[in-house]
Amino acid sequence: MKPLLTRKFIAIRKDHFNNLIKISATVVLGSSVIRVFRPHSKAKLEKALSGIHIDYLQKVRSQRQFDAWYYRVLDRLSKVLKRTNPQRLNSRIYPGYKWGHSAKVLNLFLREIVENRRYFKDATVNRIRNYLYVPIDSKVIKAIVNTNTNIGVRKIKEIDSKKKFDEIQKVLRISANQAHCPMIWFDDVWGIE
């Protein structure tokens, strides 16, 4: 019989990729993200994020394919957030609970899985990182505004429609393309500003 520590490593090895998803869900729901949500929201959001079929992204070959998948996942995640944070109990995230707060959580999760966790092979990462959206939060909004770029919002909760979400992401994508880098890298402003 193998030593207990070796058996533990074997168990970890067998479930490594599922663990990466669970760890990513936990990591992105840190205090700076969940502070605006009701206390029991974290566990529900972790469960919802951990249940996302991430492997589908290996098949994605276009922004259009990514978007179709992304919007389905965002719909499910926003329903979880709305159930755990009804407007009558938490008005701080409304009206932008879906396109602002839920999208931020999903975008942070996807960034973590794609950019930081080594879940996918390099070729897959290099392809799908270009489809990812920037997680919009107060720090990112401030960094955009500080470039004299008008995005029409000052707070996450003001991103209350797909149109506003798309307009902000379009501004970021145009500039990222001009700089020859994936727009998800704009989230690096958290480390440099």
Among residues 122, 124, 114, the alpha carbon closest in space to that of 58 is found at 124
Q: If you search the block for the tokens 């074997």, which residue do you land on? A: 10
Q: What is the pLDDT of residues 135-149, one digit of tens each?
A: 999 999 999 999 999
Would the pTM of this model clear 0.85, i.e. be above it?
Answer: yes
Return the sign of the alpha-carbon dihedral for residues 128, 133, 134, 137: negative
In this prediction, residue 193 carries a pLDDT of 60
Contact 25, 49 (CB under 8 A): yes
Q: pLDDT by residue for the chain (193 residues), tens digit each? A: 889 999 999 999 999 999 999 999 999 999 999 999 999 999 999 999 999 999 999 999 999 999 999 999 999 999 999 999 999 999 999 999 999 999 999 999 999 999 999 999 999 999 999 999 999 999 999 999 999 999 999 999 999 999 999 999 999 999 999 999 999 999 998 767 6
Q: What gap in Å lies between CA 160 and CA 168, rounded to an integer? A: 12
Where do the structural domains in the chain lie, given as residue ranges? 38-192
In this prediction, residue 1 carries a pLDDT of 83
Q: What gap in Å lies between CA 96 and CA 178, rounded to an integer? A: 29
In this prediction, residue 121 carries a pLDDT of 96
In this prediction, residue 190 carries a pLDDT of 74
In this prediction, residue 189 carries a pLDDT of 87
